[in-house]
Amino acid sequence: MSNTVIKIENLSKSYLLKHQQTERYSTLSETLVKKTRSVFNSKNSSNKTVEEFWALNDVSFDVKQGERVGIIGRNGAGKSTLLKILSRIVAPTKGRITIDGRVASLLEVGTGFHPELSGRENIFLNGSILGMNKQEIQRKFDEIVAFSEVERFLDTPVKRYSSGMYVRLAFAVAAHLEPEILIVDEVLAVGDAEFQRKCLGKMKDVSGEGRTVLFVSHNMAAIQNLCDKAVYMKRGEVQMIGDSEKVISTYLKGSSANAEMNLADRNDRSGNSAIRFSSVELKDTSGNILAAFQSGKDAVLNLKFDRIKGKEIKNLHIAVAFDDEFGQRISHMNNEITNEIFNSIPDDCNEVEVHIPRFPFKHGLYTFSLYATVNGELADWLNEAGTIDVESGDFYNTGKQLPDGQGKFLFQYNFKLPSKF
């Protein structure tokens, strides 16, 4: 009974990263110019700007029939890429996958929905896009409508739907697929909590019928609830496979081992390297190096970078973005918003500091990404540059803490009676 339905062997996928170019497609004129240039100048550096990047690197694992497998990992770990290859949307660069069974994938809710068409029409359209035939859709039509709870608006164009209704309808169609293998990317993040519960329940039922489910999510609770097995991916490689509880806890802790904040030899980055972040240090205001920040204490984030010798740096724009342990963006610091763009950087300077008074995050582990442009051109962009550990601190100077589960952000406020009293 427990035969292998998906066998992934040494799967790799590479992309060519083109620096200084934001679009993945090119224009013909550009290609012609480059080609001619390389004809006339054979050792031209034009291929310097193209860099091979492995979105998946030697991934191997098996999935047995009826298993519910969760795939976790930080942004850019290669989860969606893996699902896309499994769904035959993109081709692998190396390796081999054998799949035994009818596959349906749900990489996005409501793919192919057309805003001008009514809910009824979109059920048929979306159903056929997901691989159902007309009889199948007709047979399940009433069930789909009941699940979506949008009966009254069936003949309204979906552009008039609220975003919640839209998601409900779209998920309702997908939930009635009857494949042997169901592949689901981060799609539950949308929709309200109750509907998410309903969807998870539906997915559980689906797998109860002996179907295999592959499920990507940043929601650890959902993974724990639904999946018995989990795969932890990191920078394109499988870091750990096993019992979902164990994998999740390794994943949540594992990120602090990642805190070697030496960035010089990271190459999963893009930009023209006019500056290139080399290391990050946490400091206090007197310049002492810290292992972690503390809520409510003044903090200094010191960013060091490499630069091209003798070349001046003009209009340096830097952004630092923070994500929580579930990959949700918490906030973002940016010297453009604060009108603090550096018009020019002295020749012998290779660091900038961000001063953050009374560090406002609750205790926990936060990932940050770095981004810099020089003179309007992307210089360096490093996703998940590192993690910052934040310890509990006395933010409110009362010795009391915000209870767990009450959010991550701390800010100053005062309770008062209106002045007339």
Partner 1 sequence: MSKHKIIIEPGTENSNYWRDLWNYRGLFYFLAWRDILVRYKQTVIGILWSVLRPFVTIVVFTIVFNKLGGFPQDGDVPYAIMVCAGMLPWQFFSSAFSESANSLIANSNLLTKVYFPRLIVPASTVIVSLIDFLISFVILIGLFVWYQYVPDWKILLLPLFLLLAMITAMGTGLFIAALNVKYRDFRYVIPFIVQFGLYISPVGFSSSMIYNHENIPQYLKYLYSLNPMVGVIDGFRWCILGDNTALNISGFILSIIISILFLFLGIWYFRKTEKSFADVI
Per partner kind, with CB cut-offs from 5 to 8 A, the member of ligand ATP, Mg ion, partner 1, none near residue 67 is none
Per partner kind, with CB cut-offs from 5 to 8 A, the member of partner 1, Mg ion, ligand ATP, none near residue 77 is ligand ATP
Whole-number Cα distances in Å, 56 to 12, 177, 252, 278, 395: 5, 28, 21, 25, 42
User: Minimum distance between the CB of residue 254 and ligand ATP, rounded to whole angstroms?
Assistant: 15
Q: Which residue has the tokens 């003949």?
A: 155
Instruction: Identify the bridge partners of residue 378 per DSSP, sorted by sequence position.
Output: 373
Per partner kind, with CB cut-offs from 5 to 8 A, the member of ligand ATP, partner 1, Mg ion, none near residue 69 is none
CB nearer ligand ATP, residue 141 or residue 381 = 381
Residues of this chain that bind partner 1 (CB under 8 A) = 15, 23-29, 31, 84-103, 105, 107-108, 111-112, 114, 116-117, 121, 124-125, 128-130, 133-134, 180
Size of the site for Mg ion (CB under 5 A): 1
Whole-number Cα distances in Å, 327 to 181, 190, 203, 238: 27, 15, 23, 18
Amino acid at 347: D
Binding segment (CB under 5 A) for Mg ion, from list 74-82, 110-118, 311-319, 407-415? 74-82
Per partner kind, with CB cut-offs from 5 to 8 A, the member of Mg ion, ligand ATP, partner 1, none near residue 76 is ligand ATP
User: Minimum distance between the CB of residue 65 and partner 1, rounded to whole angstroms?
Assistant: 9
Q: Which two tokens stand for residue 98?
A: 């054998």
- Report the half-sphere exposure of 9 (CA within 13 A, side-chain side): 8
CB nearer partner 1, residue 210 or residue 242 = 210
User: Minimum distance between the CB of residue 378 and ligand ATP, rounded to whole angstroms?
Assistant: 13
One residue of 80, 278, 295, 373 binding Mg ion per CB under 5 A: 80
Task: Give the alpha-carbon dihedral of 81, 84, 90, 95, to 10 degrees.
Answer: 70
Of 228, 216, 314, the closest CA to residue 2 belongs to 228
Instruction: Kindly report the length of the chain.
Output: 421
CB nearer ligand ATP, residue 66 or residue 327 = 327
CB nearer ligand ATP, residue 41 or residue 267 = 267
CB nearer Mg ion, residue 76 or residue 191 = 76
User: Minimum distance between the CB of residue 234 and partner 1, rounded to whole angstroms?
Assistant: 22
User: Minimum distance between the CB of residue 387 and partner 1, rounded to whole angstroms?
Assistant: 30
Which residues are within 8 A (CB) of 251 and not within 5 positions of it... i.e. 6 or more apart?
72, 73, 220, 232, 239, 240
DSSP letters along 157-197, please? Answer: BGGGS-HHHHHHHHHHHHHT---SEEEE-S-TTSS-HHHHH
Q: Cα(359)–Cα(366) distance, rounded to whole angstroms? A: 13
CB nearer ligand ATP, residue 117 or residue 319 = 319
CB nearer Mg ion, residue 74 or residue 408 = 74
Per partner kind, with CB cut-offs from 5 to 8 A, the member of Mg ion, partner 1, ligand ATP, none near residue 91 is partner 1
CB nearer ligand ATP, residue 81 or residue 295 = 81
Can you give the three-state secondary structure of 260-276, one letter per residue?
CCECCCCCCEECCCCEE
User: Minimum distance between the CB of residue 361 and Mg ion, rounded to whole angstroms?
Assistant: 24
Interacting residues toward Mg ion by CB under 5 A:
80
